[in-house]
Amino acid sequence: MEELDLKELLMLFWNKKVKILLIVAIFMLIGIIYTIGFVTPVYTSSTTLLLATSGNSADKTNTITTTDITLNSKLVSTYSTLIKSKTVLRQVISNLGINISEDELEKNITVSQEKDTEIIRISVTNADATTAAKVANEVAKVFSQRVSEIYKINNVQVVDQAEVDTIPSNINHAKDIMIFACVGIVVSVMYVLIANMLDTTIKTAEEVEKEFKVPVLASIPLYDFDPVKVKGGKKR
pLDDT tens, per residue, the chain with 236 residues: 455 678 878 888 898 999 999 999 999 999 989 888 888 899 999 999 988 755 444 444 444 455 555 555 667 778 888 999 999 999 999 999 999 999 999 999 999 888 777 889 999 999 999 999 999 999 999 999 998 898 887 888 899 999 999 899 888 888 889 999 999 999 999 999 998 888 777 667 676 666 666 676 666 666 665 666 555 555 44
Taking a C-beta distance cutoff of 8 angstroms, is the pair 202, 208 a contact? yes
156 bridge partner residues: 51
- In this structure, how many other beta carbons lie within 10 angstroms of the beta carbon of residue 232? 8
User: What domains sit in the chain, N to C, each tagged with a CATH number?
Assistant: 6-36+173-233 (no CATH), 43-160 (3.30.70.1130)
What per-residue confidence (pLDDT) applies to 53? 57
Q: List pLDDT tens digits, range 135-182.
A: 999 999 999 999 889 888 788 889 999 999 989 988 888 888 999 999
pLDDT of residue 39: 85
Give the pLDDT score at 191.
92
How many helices and strands, by DSSP H and E, does the chain display?
9, 4
Give the Cα separation of 102 and 109 in Å (integer): 11
- Going through the chain in order, the beta strands assigned E by DSSP cover 43-51, 109-113, 119-126, 156-160
117/131 Cα distance (integer angstroms): 28
Q: Are 46 and 119 in contact (CB under 8 A)?
A: no
CA-wise closest residue to 72 among 136, 156, 161: 156
For 133-142, give one letter per residue: b (16+ CB within 10 A) or e.
bbbbbbbbbb
